[in-house]
Structure 1
Amino acid sequence: MLKRLFDCLASGLGLLLLSPVLLLIAVAVKLDSSGAVFFRQERVGQYGKLFRIHKFRTMVSNAELRGLQITVGSDARVTKVGGFLRKYKLDELAQLIDVFRGKMSLVGPRPEVPRYVACYPEEVRQLVLSVKPGITDWASIQYKDENEVLSRSSDPQQAYVNEVLPVKLRYYTEYVQGRTFWGDIHIIFATLMALVR
């Protein structure tokens, strides 16, 4: 209950205070390339319920029809503005909408697409999906080698499933098993510090 109240207040305040920044990002995305401002994709939420996540679009329109569901190395589908937004995680700010709507939390395991959730071991899947997915978590802060691992591989999808996903799931499991309100606050501040650095 406290977590949901905090999520609602913080995301609402964030959307209000950051509205000039969000508007500027939206205009930049629109001017940089044709297509929608937001990228909407089906993700797996709490208890396995599907929802459509919000992100500012960082790739050309219909990018998923032109390649993988994961980004590998210097992906040619990423736009000029999109590269900047990804570098500073600004594309994720749109997920404050999903937090305010109650589909996500500020802190929690990152929401995956159904095809990769299907690769979770059953007991891990039940545990990870018992909480709302989040905008940030320890995996997002501390595991920065994902793109490097994928770019080295001749089969990025297999590398994601066999090398990247197990590391993420370890972080997710540790979070769910030991989560506290003050632990979430710590993760939020650690995320802000990582972005500043």
Structure 2
Amino acid sequence: MDSIYQFNAPLYNSENFSLSELKGKTVLIVNTASKCSFSMQLNALEKLYQEYKDRGFTVLAFPCNQFGQNEPLDNLAIRDFYQMQFGVSFKVFGKVMVNGPDAHPLFSYLKCHTRGISQNRAVKWNFTKFLINSQGQLVARYAPRTKPETLKQVIETHLQKAVESSDIKATPIMSALNRRTAL
């Protein structure tokens, strides 16, 4: 099945991270930049993460310097800045390109599966958001101006769907276990 689980990306510390580790989670992928006027969204993203992380939600920050040179820091400085200024505790990756021939394959995949402003596939600015369901499928794309807190309802809906999906899958297993116990 086509999903984000086929991709790897380096974290801020160059450690390779397989997105397959996120199986079963609802994920919000965001291209970020520390010097962008939207960087205050990092506070709201952290609040969403804290509110829903125990229910299977996570945020992934992918710093990018393609828009207005708004991410001049190196990877370690980005992580430190995000932590000190915004209290970010979700995963921060190394800087990536989101457009062009050097775009990270994850962003090529995300753009291929959705369209943004004016039905264009290209990411137009920092803080474009991509919502991924618990099966690793892209379900929605949000513009940079979309405030993270406005996504609560859609995140809750996908977290509930993930619970319902796992309950359905668990039912035959539980039935088999109950039959064995009865023997």
The alignment's TM-score, normalised by the length of structure 2, stands at 0.30
Q: Which structure is larger by alpha-carbon Rg, 1 or 2? A: 2
The structure whose RCO (Cα within 8 Å, separation 6+) is larger is: 2
Q: Going by fraction, where is strand more abundant, 1 or 2?
A: 2
